[in-house]
Amino acid sequence: MLTAPEERATPAEIRKKSGESITIRWVDGHTSTFAARYLRGRCPCAQCVSETSGERLVSEEHIRPDIALEAARTVGNYALHFSFSDGHTTGIYSFDYLRRICPCEECA
Amino acid sequence: MSEAAITESKVLDALRSVMDPDLRRDIVSLNFIRNMKIEGGTVSFDVNLTTPACPVKDRLREQSRQAVLDRVPGVKDVRVNMTAEVRRPPAPETGRIRGVKNIIAVGSGKGGVGKSTVAANIAASLARSGAKVGLLDADIYGPSIPIMMRSKDEPEIKDQVIQPVNAHGVKLMSMGYLSGEMPLIWRGPMAHKALQQSLLGVNWGELDYLVVDLPPGTGDVHLTLVQTVPVTGAVIVSTPQDVGLQISMKTLRMFQQTKVPLLGIIENMSYYVCPHCGGRDEIFGHGGAALAAESLGVPFLGEIPLDPAIRKHSDAGMPVVLAEPESASARALAELTGKLAQQVSIQAFRSVPLTIVEE
Ligand SMILES: Nc1ncnc2c1ncn2[C@@H]1O[C@H](COP(=O)(O)OP(=O)(O)OP(=O)(O)O)[C@@H](O)[C@H]1O
Ligand code: SF4
Ligand SMILES: [Mg+2]
Ligand SMILES: [Zn+2]
Ligand SMILES: [Zn+2]
């Protein structure tokens, strides 16, 4: 089926812990918790990843440890948009991408 | 012999035997039964379906009537009133157009497959069934809906909000209205803003369905659409000549990647009906879309014949489903619209609510 490969990347529940992290429970039961700094260091936007070479320009070590996740909202049916305390707001994180970068031991 | 009284709960128990074929649940637990009245041996109630375009309306009416007659002792007469209320999927509140319950995107792999014709007929057919419908022409490269829906009017702007044009009972907005003196090729950011304005800056009012006619292929307009509003689902129009549907595949994949559910595939200009003898001619060996739909696990919504009348009525400004509703082509379009409305209802019940819980 066409929808099979990404089916896992469908969220059943999304929780935000103020400032700190976002937790997604996926439809297959798996749970991913993303800390603010981890997310900010994996921003997929064109300022953080070179559009021509695909090279990551801003990664976790460039981010101050006390960065906060100020706001989160959904984008259509398919992604989340975050605002960070360093003023960065240009990343759109698709659920496919978020599932791929799940930091849990099982996935890493 | 004295008969036990007819009670509401007995009637509801009887109606639990009637299943909605799409949602695979009984019509009582789906909360379809409304306004029940019991007077002597006469029972009356409404069955509130998920769309006025429901293709199995008559069957559900008859099954409901029979269930009560057969299962509740003492009932002499059953009056079933079929009503409908389009449910909205539990999508996020952000970016929603207030009052708009479902957004249906109509796309195609390549141009000229009849996407706008199909979009106009779907909108007109939904409106004809009694639903509240809007139609947004988002094809910045060749807006054609205003001609197909015969609207010479341009939308008015009141308090910075665009008032859509009313055409055959459908609220109409075209990106063409915003282009004015613009060159035909829009630059990316301009197209982006124009589409956002056409979605969010329009007084759509209450709509059961907003049908969006997209430009062919994939591109910025698609991305802007799915990023701006929660799209209930997408329909792909193809023709038998689409080489193995390959181009449509790219479009399919784009919707899939942005989590827009595929409501189905339509094959247009599928076969030719001879206007003289009524004979059916399979010009291009049709059926490719049905096969592709099956292998992809996407519903196949139907075939539309290559019929000069479809074009004639479009050119004259009235979709064939309104101009000649009894013609074979109009019936094919109406039937496919019913199937589409079914798929929208299924999505509305299936989708998980996407909200972020703050702790
Ligand atoms: N089933 C049909 N039978 C006969 N003519 C049709 C049929 N469907 C569409 N047409 C005609 O084919 C032409 C192209 O249709 P339409 O403009 O709807 O295609 P489109 O896919 O929207 O094209 P574009 O890519 O330019 O937006 C029109 O003249 C239309 O009237
Ligand atoms: S369209 Fe489908 S879901 Fe809606 S009432 Fe009819 S059968 Fe049920
Ligand atoms: Mg068109
Ligand atoms: Zn970034
Ligand atoms: Zn994991």
Is pLDDT of A2 > 50? no
**Biggest CA pair distance of chain A:** 43
Tell me how far the alpha carbon of residue B233 is from its chain's centroid. Answer: 9
Q: Dig out the tokens for A48 from the structure.
A: 């953080």
Is pLDDT of B343 > 60? yes
Name residues contacting ligand 2 (CB within 6 A).
B 20-23, 49-51, 54, 56, 341-342, 345
CA torsion through residues B338, B342, B344, B348, sign: positive
Q: Which of residues 57-86 of A touch B (CB under 8 A)?
A: 72-80
pLDDT for B39? 94
A15-26 residue pLDDT tens:
999 889 999 998
Inspect the interface and report whether the beta carbons of B259 and A12 lie closer than 8 Å: no
**Which chain B residues have a beta carbon less than 8 Å from that of A1?**
296-297
Q: Dig out the tokens for A23 from the structure.
A: 């937790």
CATH no. of A4-100: 3.30.2020.30
Inspect the interface and report whether the beta carbons of A2 and B228 lie closer than 8 Å: no
Phi, psi torsion values for A36, nearest 5 degrees: -55, -45
Alpha carbon distance B160, B158 (integer Å): 5
Nearest CA in chain A to B228: A76
Mean pLDDT of B348-355: 68
Ligand 1 atom 5 nearest Cα:
B311
Atom of ligand 1 nearest to the CA of B269: 1
Is pLDDT of B101 > 50? yes
Q: What residue numbers of B does the annotated binding site for ATP cover? A: 109-116
- B183 confidence band (pLDDT: 50, 70, 90): very low
Alpha carbon distance B152, B149 (integer Å): 9
Inspect the interface and report whether the beta carbons of B94 and A74 lie closer than 8 Å: yes
Does the beta carbon of B269 sit less than 6 angstroms from any atom of ligand 1? Answer: yes
Q: Domain ranges for chain A, please list them.
A: 4-100
Ligand nearest the Cα of residue A103 is 5
ipTM of the complex: 0.82
A26-56 residue pLDDT tens:
878 899 999 999 999 999 988 899 878 889 9
Task: Report the candidate in B264, B265, B267, B268 with the shortest Cα–Cα distance to residue B307.
Answer: B268
Domain annotation for chain B: domains and CATH numbers? 3-84 (3.30.300.130), 100-350 (3.40.50.300)
- Residue B132 distance to chain A (closest CA, Å): 23
Alpha carbon distance B61, A88 (integer Å): 56
pLDDT top residue among A6 and B251 = B251
Interface test with A, best of B200, B231, B259 (most A CBs within 10 A): B259
Is pLDDT of B29 > 90? no
Mean pLDDT (chain B, rounded): 86
pLDDT for A3? 36
Interface test with B, best of A1, A2, A23, A33 (most B CBs within 10 A): A2
Q: Dig out the tokens for A79 from the structure.
A: 């992604």
Alpha carbon distance B66, B200 (integer Å): 46
Nearest by CB to A78, which of B226, B229, B356?
B226
Is pLDDT of A5 > 90? no
- Count, in order, helices (H) and strands (E) of chain A: 3, 6
Inspect the interface and report whether the beta carbons of A18 and B94 lie closer than 8 Å: no
A3-42 residues labelled b (16+ CB within 10 A) or e (exposed): eeebeebbbebbbbeeeebbbbebeeebebbbbbbbbbbb
- B106 confidence band (pLDDT: 50, 70, 90): very high
Percent of chain A with pLDDT over 90: 58
Highest mean pLDDT among A24-33, B69-78, B157-166: B69-78
Mean pLDDT of B210-236: 89
